[in-house]
Amino acid sequence: MALEYSVLMLVYAGADPAEFDLCLESMMNQTRPTSDFVLVCDGKLTAELDRIVEKYDTAYPGVFNIVRLQEHVGIGPAAQKGLLQCKKDYVVRMDSDDISFPYRCETEMAEFEKDPALDMVGGYIQERDPDGNTFEREVPLEHEDILHFGKRRFPFNNVTIAFRKSKAIEIGGYGNYQRCEDYEFVFKMLSSGAKTKNIAVPLVLCTLDEDSYKRRKSWTNTSSNIIVRRHMWKSGFCSFFDYIIPSAAQLGMYILPSGFTKMLYTKYLRKKG
């Protein structure tokens, strides 16, 4: 029997309505669609975003579980609230501004079906820049490589992650991080012995703009990244040098101009598609 899965997505008032609409459409047009879509509204939404939520809730009766939070709590706490609402033991995470390729969920569920011991799976992403060029961002594929890579850099494309809910609950789910909640979540999964894998296929399309690089340079992102890395070191997951070298690089990226950050990212983290 084919595995069923829940979709876990967060949206907040700052989301772009057009991107949000396309994102929801991509998830509902999967070759293996979900019957349990948990959509966490992190605080009050704009009227336009609310109309989109209502459109999909009406079009797919019984599929959407709309979780409305009275106040904006941030990614980590909102994701944890949504995780607890998921009905299936396999959960596909999705950002509200990206597009999943139609085969994404079926491909990921097929990996879980082939290997019942698998706890988390992800894959490559395709990125599109403002000039219309497309690039692929690769990640390590096999578990041992993911484990080694994860000591210094994030070993998944976070927008592609699917995981076993029971394992996620076992490790405490998502923490209270405003940023880098995905790194902390993956680190806890790896530390607990979770078996992981990445697929050498682009699963999600992401659109980059100049603000994408600026968000990577924010102090919230920088400080959260360093805090998570310190936690990794203190827990024994990585060495002191695994902690201090990437943290110093993160601080350097924060201090240096956005153009330098963009150059490093485009030169070392992706290849032309």
Give me the sign of the Cα torsion angle 162, 82, 21, 271: negative
- Its pTM stands at 0.88
Look over the chain and give the mean of its residue pLDDT values, rounded to a whole number.
88
Q: Give pLDDT, residue 44.
A: 96
Q: Which two tokens stand for residue 182?
A: 């995905």
pLDDT confidence of residue 178: 66
Which pair of tokens denotes residue 220? 């919230």
Instruction: Quote the pLDDT of residue 219.
Output: 64
Which pLDDT band, with edges at 50, 70 and 90, does 259 fall under?
Answer: low
Give Cβ neighbours of residue 33 (< 8 Å, ≥ 6 apart): 105
Beta partners for residue 272, in sequence order: 135
* Percentage, residues of the chain above pLDDT 90: 65
SS3 102: coil
| Residue 146: Cβ-neighbour burial (10 angstroms; 0-12, 13-18, 19+) | buried
Strands of the chain, DSSP E: 6-11, 36-42, 64-69, 90-94, 99-100, 120-128, 134-137, 162-164, 196-207, 271-272
d(C-alpha 138, C-alpha 69), whole Å: 35
What CA–CA distance (Å, rounded) separates 122 from 104? 10
d(CA 154, CA 255): 21
Predicted confidence band of residue 17 (pLDDT cuts 50, 70, 90): very high
> Higher confidence at residue 2 or residue 59?
59
Instruction: Show the tokens assigned to 227.
Output: 């805090």
Average pLDDT over residues 98-124: 97
Structural fold of domain 6-208: Spore Coat Polysaccharide Biosynthesis Protein SpsA; Chain A (3.90.550)
> How does pLDDT run across 136-192, given as a tens digit for each residue?
999 999 999 999 999 888 899 999 999 999 999 999 999 876 667 888 899 999 999
Supply the pLDDT for residue 222: 74
272 pLDDT higher than 50: no
Contact 86, 36 (CB under 8 A): yes
Please give the pLDDT value at position 99: 96
**What is the predicted pLDDT for the residue at 255?**
77
Spatial contact of 14 and 62, defined as CB atoms under 8 Å apart? no
Count Cβ neighbours within 10 Å for each residue of 54-83 and write b for 16 or more, e otherwise. eebbeeeeeebbebebeeebbbbbbbbbbb
How sure is the predictor about 262, in pLDDT bands with cuts at 50, 70 and 90? low
Q: Which residue has the higher pLDDT, 45 or 224?
A: 45
Sequence ranges of the domains in the chain: 6-208, 211-268
* Whether 229 contacts 153, CB under 8 Å: no
Q: What share of the chain is helix, strand, coil (3-state, %, to 5)?
A: 45, 20, 35
- Mean pLDDT (whole number) for 256-266: 61
Residue 224: pLDDT band (50, 70, 90) is confident
* 35: three-class secondary structure by DSSP: coil
pLDDT in tens, 226-257: 887 887 788 888 788 777 887 777 777 767 76
For 33-56, what is each residue's pLDDT tens digit?
Answer: 999 999 999 999 999 999 999 999
